[in-house]
Amino acid sequence: MDSIIKIKNLHAELSDGTKILNGVNLEVKPGEIHAIMGPNGSGKSTLASVLAGREDYIVTEGEVEYNGMDLLDLSPEDRAREGVFLAFQYPVEIPGVSNINFLKTSINEIRAYKGEGPISAKEFLGMVSEKSKLVELDNKLKNRSVNEGFSGGEKKRNEIFQMAMLEPKLAILDETDSGLDIDALRIVAHGVNTLKSSENASIVITHYQRLLDYIVPDIVHVLWNGRIIKSGPKELALELEDKGYDWLKKEVITE
């Protein structure tokens, strides 16, 4: 089966030359959920940012094949239009832009890219009401400015709401669990699980194992020092929860 994304020997650094990714290899196939774990500073968020096209990072080596295309060659907006979705670790507040207008613009630009006409008001509102139920997003929040004055949990639910609206092929969830209480965590996970299909895939980046109780991964990877040092079944996450990361680091060093 063809993969959705194939990352080969990816190296990336900051503009000041600080190397963050040092040869990441990862392949994700349709229908799969991959978890990426690792200690702080291991490069997890950088990997998410590079895939989404954030300009702060320079790719110095390697390639990323997405759906048969060279992903790194696409602008951030074209990546999104091709079905890559990044759920932000820190969703940005945008005063003066209503959540609903923002989403409508987003959907229509994606449709225009695909050569489709703008979405009808009826269809759009129907979608909004269906998808916001999925993450139990308060009606009032939809008309407010994007993320402005939202609680931490509301911001994360808003990310999953957007994901539901845009129906991506590849979702990258960057520490979506951070700062969530158990209820919000359950709601977010329910949203992600409901959206899962045999056509799409997710990369779930997390620091803690607890999210993986709700979103069950097919494969768990451990990122350290900008490289994936171990991959394994979902039980690996539990092992990490028990033993921490040090034993793995030692393993790598002794290699």
Partner 1 sequence: MEAAVSEKNSVSVFLENLDVSENTSNNSYVSEVISEAKDRLLNSKLPNKKQESWKYSKIAPWLKKKYCCSRSNEDFDISAYASTSVNANTLVFVNGYYRDDLSILRDSQNGVIIQNMTEAVDLFKDDIDKYYNKAKDASFFADLNTVYHTNGVFIKVDENVIAETTVHLLHIQTGTGTIAQSRNLVILEKNSKLDILESQLELNASDSISNHLSEFFVNENALLNYTLIQKGGDNAAIHSNYFIQEDFSKLNSNVFSLQKKFIRNNHSVRTVGTDTETRLNGSFMPGANEQFDNRTLLDHRNVRGYSEEVYKGILFEKSNAVFYGRIFVDQKAQQTNAYLNNSNILMDDSARMHSKPELEIYADDVKCSHGSATGDFDTEAQFYLQARGISLDSARKMLIHAFMNEVSGKIENIEIRDVVNSYMNERMMKLDQ
Chain residues binding partner 1 by CB under 8 A are 52-55, 75-77, 79-81, 85-86, 88, 91-97, 102-103, 105-107, 109-110, 113, 145-146, 162, 166
> In this complex, which beta carbon is closest to partner 1, that of residue 28 or of residue 166?
166
What are the tokens at 149? 């004055």
CB of 111 to partner 1, least distance (A): 9
CB of 74 to partner 1, least distance (A): 11
> In this complex, which beta carbon is closest to partner 1, that of residue 93 or of residue 199?
93
What Cα–Cα distance (Å) separates residue 32 from each residue in 11, 22, 104, 184? 24, 24, 29, 23
> In this complex, which beta carbon is closest to partner 1, that of residue 19 or of residue 54?
54
What value does the CA radius of gyration of the chain take, rounded to a whole number of Å? 18
3-state secondary structure at position 192 = helix
3-state secondary structure at position 83 = coil
Residue 41, C-beta contacts closer than 8 angstroms, at least 6 positions apart: none
> In this complex, which beta carbon is closest to partner 1, that of residue 7 or of residue 52?
52
CB of 161 to partner 1, least distance (A): 12
CB of 80 to partner 1, least distance (A): 4
> In this complex, which beta carbon is closest to partner 1, that of residue 51 or of residue 212?
51
CB of 133 to partner 1, least distance (A): 21
CB of 137 to partner 1, least distance (A): 16
Give 26-30's long-range contacts (Cβ < 8 A, gap of 24+): 26/203, 26/221, 26/228, 27/3, 28/3, 28/4, 28/170, 28/201, 28/203, 29/1, 29/2, 29/3, 29/4, 29/201, 30/1, 30/2, 30/4, 30/198, 30/199, 30/200, 30/201
> In this complex, which beta carbon is closest to partner 1, that of residue 12 or of residue 107?
107
Length of the chain: 255
